């Protein structure tokens, strides 16, 4: 206190900071911002091919099949990443898929799925992916293959005719295009 009995600016600040709410709000905001930034960083990192390859590179065929496909990019087209095809774009659906994918990480870590037995598990895993594609009408395919990127009038005659028939039958992309990026799997 100065000689007039008033508290100094520092004393007022210190008494304000001693109140829990005064400290709690800025700390809470800081933690929320840091949490949101960390969450966003994890979303971006887990949508990169490098993240997918960290496990699937051990299943060498998956990565090699993808790299040999048109979806990997030929220098003239924009490449599709693993997440472009395998992770839904709407936020809630994306969070559901990423949460469910944790079981795959678990099975990799405990050794249920290994490099040696991957091909045994592959048909069941492929079938699950195809069911998801059918259930959502191949929504991830349509994210890229629509509008000017997929003008049916500019397609070859065979493609135009087939797509018209498929639309009439209520089929979706995955009904014909299995094995487009990864090898065609035969379900027994």
Query: What total of structural domains would you count in the chain?
Result: 2
> Is 163 known to sit in a ligand binding site?
no
| Residue 91, domain member (yes or no) | yes
pLDDT score at 133? 92
Asked if residues 71 and 131 have their Cβ atoms less than 8 Å apart, the reply is no
> Is 107 known to sit in a ligand binding site?
no
Three-state SS at 75: coil
pLDDT score at 22? 72
The residue among 163, 166, 96 whose CA lies nearest residue 132 is 96
> Is 89 known to sit in a ligand binding site?
no
Residues 100 and 75 in one domain: yes
Structural domain that includes position 28: 1-46
Residues 40 and 54 in one domain: no
Residues 71 and 160 in one domain: yes
The residue among 147, 127, 141 whose CA lies nearest residue 70 is 141
Q: How far apart are CA 140 and CA 133, in angstroms?
A: 8
> Is 137 known to sit in a ligand binding site?
no
pLDDT score at 59? 66
> Is 144 known to sit in a ligand binding site?
yes
Residues 88 and 122 in one domain: yes
Asked if residues 81 and 144 have their Cβ atoms less than 8 Å apart, the reply is no
Residues 15 and 37 in one domain: yes
Residues 158 and 88 in one domain: yes
Residues 57 and 23 in one domain: no
pLDDT score at 58? 66
> Is 56 known to sit in a ligand binding site?
no
Residues 17 and 102 in one domain: no
Helix H or strand E segment including 5: none
Residues 3 and 19 in one domain: yes
Residues 99 and 116 in one domain: yes
What pLDDT tens digit does each residue of the chain (188 aa) get?
455 557 788 888 788 777 777 778 888 999 999 999 999 999 999 999 988 888 776 667 888 889 888 888 877 778 899 999 999 999 999 999 999 888 888 888 898 888 888 888 889 889 999 999 999 999 999 898 887 777 788 888 888 888 888 878 888 999 888 888 888 887 76
């Amino acid at each position: 206190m100065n000689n007039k009995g008033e508290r100094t600016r520092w004393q007022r600040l210190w008494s304000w900071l001693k109140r829990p709410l005064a400290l709690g709000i800025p700390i809470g905001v800081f933690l929320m911002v840091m949490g949101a930034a960390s969450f966003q960083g994890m979303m971006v990192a887990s949508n990169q091919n490098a993240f997918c390859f960290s496990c699937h590179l051990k299943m060498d065929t998956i990565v090699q099949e993808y790299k040999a496909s048109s979806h990997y990019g030929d220098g003239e087209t924009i490449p599709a990443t693993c997440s472009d095809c395998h992770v839904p774009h709407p936020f809630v659906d994306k969070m559901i898929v990423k949460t469910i994918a944790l079981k795959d990480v678990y099975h990799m870590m405990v050794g249920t799925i290994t490099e040696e037995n991957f091909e045994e598990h592959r048909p069941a895993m492929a079938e699950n992916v195809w069911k998801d594609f059918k259930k959502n009408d191949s929504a991830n395919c349509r994210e890229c293959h629509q509008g000017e990127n997929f003008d049916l009038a500019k397609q070859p005659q065979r493609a135009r005719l087939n797509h018209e028939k498929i639309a009439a039958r209520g089929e979706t992309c995955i009904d014909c295009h299995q094995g487009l990026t990864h090898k065609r799997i035969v379900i027994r």
